[in-house]
Amino acid sequence: MATSKQTFIVALRRAHHAANGRWTHLEARFLALRTADSTLNRARCLSTTSYPNEAPEGMPIQAADEIDFKSTGPLPMARPVPGSPSYFSRIPIFNDKLLHLENLMRAHSQLPTIPASQVNRVAWKTIKDFRQSLGEHMKESDFNRCITLVKRLHQIHPDMKPREVKLALKTFEREIQPFYREESKAPIDKLGRALGAGRRKASTARAWLVEGTGEIQINSKSLSEFFGRVHDRESAVWALQATERLNKYNVWALVKGGGTTGQAEALTLAIAKALLAHEPALKPALRKGKRAAFLFWFDAADLGQRLLTDHPLAGCVTRDPRRVERKKHGHVKARKSPTWVKR
């Protein structure tokens, strides 16, 4: 019994060694097909076009170059070999870019870097923009890994950064860089007027600012005639009041849409923009200047008493993006639910 078992094991080992030898022989013959072409300086394979590093953006990945059988003669065996290692993956273009970044990171990780606070600010593409440009749906974790490599390569000293790294990072930059744009300033016409525009909710305001004695007209009415509430009056001219310029400029404004509160806060932004055209140095003061807001409460001793409080959004040169939340289906208001009665 033991002899037959040993004979069987020996036979299996011989068959295994024979198969390994045959497989090694086949692999050697197959690798011989990938000999370097003297004219193209590429590996010759059985397919169409290959991209050595990564496929151009927007171009589909194809397999490798075709073999000219007339020049090479009859071959014992051949099979198509893709030119890209990511050819059979779900997201080949993105995988090629990721592999290319990893290769660059391995090759240039020893180059000197600069601190992240001193690196030129660059707006990189978001995952939505990248999916749209490549036409592939990559995972968010893979994209974050790719952006991490991009930011690390971007920290290489500009004088030492290789050209191939610059070209690789160029594909991840947005077309419009907000950090390099110059701010557009409101022009001052020949009469010394500066125009500023502002919006709030459904209200729109345009204000012309000119040096004067502090006169204010809104839709051909005075400030007190147009805004009945003291809170709206102070909100409208808060940019001038915060910078102590109430008696230095005249204001002529046109407002439309929305209610009185929206029109007053839209006028705040319009006057602030026009004031920046005359005095750009006031921008820090306008950013710190808080809008006026009053809190009214009922008091038996004094019904008209009021308390000045800070507005939740500070600054006069930033638009207030808050809007009324829409009513929801099945609710009384935006969030209020109907009263539930058990009995």
Give per-residue pLDDT as tens, 161-204: 999 999 999 999 998 887 776 667 778 889 999 999 999 999 99
186: DSSP letter: P
Report the alpha-carbon distance of residue 227 to residue 264 in Å, rounded.
8
| Cα–Cα distances in angstroms (integers) from residue 177 to residues 180, 181, 301, 319, in the given order | 6, 7, 59, 22
Mean pLDDT of each 10-residue bin along the chain, 343 residues long: 67 63 54 44 41 51 57 59 81 92 92 90 92 91 94 93 93 84 77 93 95 93 94 92 92 95 94 93 85 37 38 72 93 94 87
CA 156 to chain centre: 22
pLDDT at 146: 94
Neighbours of 215 (CB within 10 A): 13
Bridge partners (DSSP) listed for residue 194: 188, 209
What is the pairing mode between strands 249-256 and 203-211?
antiparallel
Report the alpha-carbon distance of residue 60 to residue 48 in Å, rounded.
12
Question: Could you tell me if 296 and 234 are in contact, meaning their C-beta atoms sit under 8 angstroms apart?
Answer: no
173: DSSP letter: B
Say if domain 194-314 classifies as CATH 3.40.50.720.
Answer: no
pLDDT at 131: 92
CA 181 to chain centre: 16
pLDDT at 259: 93
Domain parsing of the chain, residue ranges: 29-88, 92-180, 194-314
Closest CA to 186 of 197, 202, 170, 176: 197
Question: Could you tell me if 100 and 149 are in contact, meaning their C-beta atoms sit under 8 angstroms apart?
Answer: no
Question: Could you tell me if 277 and 197 are in contact, meaning their C-beta atoms sit under 8 angstroms apart?
Answer: no
Indicate the SS3 state at residue 181: coil
Q: Hey, what are 265's tokens?
A: 């806060």
Q: Hey, what are 330's tokens?
A: 């099945």
- Contacts of 151-159 spanning 24+ positions with Cβ under 8 A: 151/116, 151/124, 152/105, 153/101, 153/104, 153/105, 153/108, 154/119, 154/122, 155/113, 155/114, 155/115, 155/116, 155/119, 156/108, 156/111, 156/112, 156/113, 157/111, 157/112, 157/113, 157/114, 158/120
Neighbours of 160 (CB within 10 A): 12
Question: Could you tell me if 134 and 94 are in contact, meaning their C-beta atoms sit under 8 angstroms apart?
Answer: yes
pLDDT at 65: 58
Question: Could you tell me if 48 and 42 are in contact, meaning their C-beta atoms sit under 8 angstroms apart?
Answer: no
Bridge partners (DSSP) listed for residue 221: 218
pLDDT at 175: 86
The values of phi and psi at residue 227, to 5°, are -110, 115
